[in-house]
Amino acid sequence: MRQAFFGHGASRGSALGRARVRLPHALEVAEERISPAQVEAELARLHAAIETVRGEMHALRERLHGALAHEVGEFLDLHTLLLDDPELLHGLDELIRTGRYAADYALRLQRDRIASVFEAMDDAYFRSRVDDIDQVIGRIHAALHRRAGEMQGVAGEILITDNVAPAELAQLQTQGVLAIVTSAGSALSHSAILARSLHLPLVVGAAQALLKINDGDALTVDGSSGTVILEPNADDLRAHRSRVREHARERKQLHRLRREPTRTTDGVDIKLYANAESREDVAEAHALGAAGVGLYRTEFLFLQRNELPTEEEQFRAYRDVVLGMTGRSVTIRTLDLGADKADRTGLALRDEPNPALGLRGVRLSLARDGLLETQLRALLRASGYGPLRVLVPMVSSREEIRRVKRMLDQVAADLRHEGHEIAEHVPLGAMIEVPAAAIALPSFIGAIDFLSIGTNDLIQYLLAADRNNEALGELYTPLHPAVLRLIRDVIRLARARGKSVAVCGEMAGDPAFAPLLLALGLEEFSLHPATLLELRRAIRGMDLGALRARAPALLRARDRKAIEAWLRAN
């Protein structure tokens, strides 16, 4: 029967496919015993499922190519190792043979047994292995319940789950998943940012979907409105087809703007930089005529792997970005691990009571011996190949910037001494995403060359509203007078001191907010290439002088409603 579910559109695009439901990590399996006569058949069923999973992973490994092969491959190798682990397999057999448990329940018992051993370890790296155990056991469990003859791959499927980790997304897309619907999550999470970058439709916060949708149900997903339709009727199918057509038409129209300037109606050129995480993003940014890369998030080099990337590996990755932009400016951010970007190398702490306020960003980089130094060496070496700027995340004090600057100077001297060709001056910038940094900016602006305002975090810290918590609803918003005033103050000071300033949070990527940022004095935006042309089109219809003339009225707005009214009056 047709049923509609509503969540939040987190990544645009329309999909039609079969549902694949992935239940939350802990297997909800009731205790079930079998008779002695059933033991052999149950063992055979389990081993057939394990073989299926092995085959799926092998097939996926074969299909991977390019940059993804490297990233996802290591992750797959680890899962294959776990699948062959004699302890895991022997334990399962014993539970079925001696304990007379059904295979499902044996999986759950074995999962809990292994997880408790890992969870008791002091080492964060080993504790993080529980996620891998869950994923491997989850795959076997899913394979146990697949009917004979059913497709084993997941191509053409829409994943329904509680939440999805950034590290999983690329793999899911490679497997052919068409869209993802989660019961939790937020449109501002890193997973959502990555989904937009992969053009993978994502609906978050569709709480009922996980309860009501079953494997194999037909679904349509609209990643713009956040609507999921179970067993769509003829009207829904027509609506889906028309969205697909509309999307294609819009892309074609936007495509024509690739070589056009981002010029307001009164003739001011606005700079649009790209946020990038991968080589594909860099290529897209270049093709769309981005002024450069405004934010390259290096943490993705550190995720999904067990050892830290070496200096050489980092150098090659950063050099690729610089070469990919053929002389346009490239801003690379030093590592911002921690909070919702936990790695597998054990660098970021796993059990911080309050990770968003914990050891993340530059705090972590400065706390781990050699980590920042290696990264700065790689960055400076890449600066020999084209214009490169270094951006520091999560700065909250002058002291942090001074420590990074001292290290940068030292590393530059060392590299020159070693005979490396590096740029004469590599500009150093600070992310302004902690309110303290915005307020104390006059105390350290002299020590930096440029600024980038990270509204994703700035909003969450200023409004005490978690960017990943859907329950907060509209409490997390750029449309708050405190947010606008703080952004205005940062832009004004930067301009007065002749420092370039951009906004690189998601606020910059939403054309609906562009009038606000332009009115507040912004002339540089950094956003994901997926929406770059849309923003260019919107700005080409705006009158900068008129917006700036209305800035005082905007700053007098006392609440969200008044700010929305200001926006409507444009």
Judge whether 303 and 341 are in contact, CB under 8 Å.
yes
Q: Give the residue with the Cβ less far from ligand PEP, 189 or 227.
A: 189
Using an 8 Å Cβ cutoff, are 321 and 282 in contact? yes
H helical segments located in 525-559: 532-539, 544-549, 551-556
3-state secondary structure of 52: helix
Q: Choose the catalytic residue: 79, 141, 190, 480.
A: 190
Of 133 and 458, which CB lies nearer to ligand PEP in the complex structure? 458
**One of 297, 319, 377, 480 touching ligand PEP (CB under 6 A):** 297
* Smallest gap from residue 468 Cβ to ligand PEP (A): 11
Phi, psi (degrees; rounded to nearest 5) at 153: -75, 180
- In whole angstroms, how close is the CB of 351 to ligand PEP at the nearest point? 21
Token pair of 465 as six digits: 């509203």
Integer Cα distance of 150 and 161 in angstroms = 20
Residue 454 C-beta: closest distance to Mg ion, Å: 4
Binders of Mg ion: how many residues, by CB under 5 A?
3
Between 121 and 482, CB nearer to ligand PEP: 482
Size of the site for ligand PEP (CB under 6 A): 10
Q: Which residue has the tokens 């769309």?
A: 288
Among 222, 457, 466, 470, binds Mg ion (CB under 5 A): 457
Could you say whether residue 433 binds ligand PEP (CB under 6 A)?
Answer: yes
Interacting stretch for ligand PEP, rule CB under 6 A, among 17-25, 123-131, 348-356, 452-460? 452-460
From Mg ion, ligand PEP, none, interface partner of 505 (C-beta below 5 to 8 A by class):
ligand PEP
Distances (CA, A) of 537 to 18, 251, 273, 507, 513: 35, 12, 15, 16, 14
Q: Which of 205, 386, 435, 454 binds ligand PEP (CB under 6 A)?
A: 454
Burial label, 91 (beta-carbon count in 10 A; 0-12, 13-18, 19+): middle
List all residues 6 or more positions away from 96 whose beta carbon is below 8 Å from its beta carbon.
34, 39, 42, 43, 46, 102, 103, 106
Q: Answer yes or no: are the C-beta atoms of 319 and 381 closer than 8 Å.
A: yes
Pairing relationship of beta strands 227-230 and 218-222 according to DSSP bridges:
antiparallel
**Residue 454 near Mg ion by CB under 5 A:** yes
Instruction: Give whichever of 186 and 456 is closer to ligand PEP, judged by the CB atom.
Output: 456
d(CA 296, CA 281): 10
Letters for 424-443 (x = contact with Mg ion by CB under 5 A, - = none) are ---------x----------
Considering only residues 505, 509, 515, 529, which one is a binding residue for ligand PEP as defined by CB under 6 A? Answer: 505
Q: From the centroid of its chain, how far is CA 561?
A: 30
Minimum distance of Mg ion from residue 433's CB (angstroms) = 5
Considering the complex, state which of residue 331 and residue 383 has its C-beta at the smaller distance from ligand PEP.
331
Report the partner that residue 523 touches, choosing among Mg ion, ligand PEP, none (CB closer than 5 to 8 A by kind): none
Smallest distance, ligand PEP to C-beta of residue 369, A: 24
Pairing of strands 227-230, 3-6: antiparallel
DSSP 505: S
Continuous H helices in 370-509: 371-382, 398-417, 435-439, 441-444, 455-463, 481-496
CA distance 476 to 456: 9
Check if 240 is active-site. no
Point out the residue whose Cβ comes nearest to Mg ion. 457
Residue 374: HSE in the Cβ half-sphere, 13 Å Cα cutoff: 15
Sequence-distant (≥ 6) Cβ neighbours of residue 464 within 8 angstroms: none
The contacts of residue 65 (CB under 8 Å, 6+ apart) are: none
SS3 state of residue 526: strand
Q: Give the residue, chosen from 173, 334, 345, 456, that forms a contact with ligand PEP under the rule CB under 6 A.
A: 456
The partner in contact with residue 488, picked from ligand PEP, Mg ion, none with C-beta cut-offs of 5 to 8 angstroms by kind, is: none
Q: Choosing among ligand PEP, Mg ion, none, which partner's interface includes residue 292 (Cβ < 5 to 8 Å by kind)? A: none
Amino acid code (one letter) for 453 = I
- Stretches 30-38, 171-179, 409-417, 450-458: which one binds ligand PEP (CB under 6 A)? 450-458
Question: Would you say 431 or 554 has its CB closer to Mg ion?
Answer: 431
Which part of the chain contacts ligand PEP (CB under 6 A), choosing from 98-106, 140-148, 454-462, 517-525?
454-462
Decide if residue 504 touches ligand PEP (CB under 6 A): yes
Q: Of 457, 466, 470, 534, which lies in the binding site for ligand PEP, with binding defined by CB under 6 A?
A: 457
Q: Pick what 297 binds: Mg ion, ligand PEP, none; C-beta below 5 to 8 Å, kind-dependent.
A: ligand PEP
Q: Are 210 and 160 in contact (CB under 8 A)?
A: yes
| Nearest-approach distance from CB 327 to ligand PEP, in angstroms | 24
Q: Which among 430, 338, 341, 419 has a CA at the least distance from the CA of 389?
A: 430
Quick one: what does residue 504 bind among Mg ion, ligand PEP, none, with the CB cut-off 5 to 8 Å set by partner type? Answer: ligand PEP
Instruction: Tell me how far, at minimum, the Cβ of 32 lies from Mg ion, in Å.
Output: 47
x/- map, 312-351, ligand PEP, by CB under 6 A: ------------------------x---------------
Tell me the residue type at 319: R
One-letter amino acid of 149: G
Query: Is there a catalytic annotation at residue 480?
Result: no
Q: Under the rule (CB under 5 A), what is the footprint of Mg ion?
A: 433, 454, 457
Residue numbers annotated as active site: 190, 504
Applying CB under 6 A, which residues contact ligand PEP?
Answer: 295, 297, 336, 433, 454-457, 504-505
